[in-house]
Amino acid sequence: MKRVRAGAPADPVRDWLVLLSLSAIALAGIIVWNAWAFDTVSGGGAIGTQTAKVPEVFNQGSLNTIRGVFESRAAEEAKYRAGIYTFTDPSL
């Protein structure tokens, strides 16, 4: 702790070695963590706590709503393709 005090003489070589050593340890930790996470996920596992599976509830009303949105978009696209709507380029 005497070397850490404000009045202690500066030792740039020691400081750089400490900095590089800590950086190498951090890099090794990151590499190990990513390798473990990749191995876990590629093996079909999950990272973190696994929740109990809840039975899926199928809601026909929401499916019909989504289908209606896509049908209206398809109808609008058909109007552009058929020439009913014209597109004017604002940059011209």
List pLDDT tens digits, range 9-33.
777 888 899 899 999 999 999 999 9
pLDDT at 3 over 60: no
Confidence (pLDDT) at 91: 82
User: HSE (CB half, 13 Å, CA atoms) of 23?
Assistant: 6
Average pLDDT, integer, range 45-56: 76
pTM of the full structure? 0.46
Start-to-end Cα distance in the chain: 71
Confidence (pLDDT) at 6: 63
- Calculate Rg over the CA atoms of the chain: 31
Per the document, the length of the chain is: 92
Mean confidence (pLDDT) of the chain: 85
Provide DSSP, 8-31.
SPP-HHHHHHHHHHHHHHHHHHHH
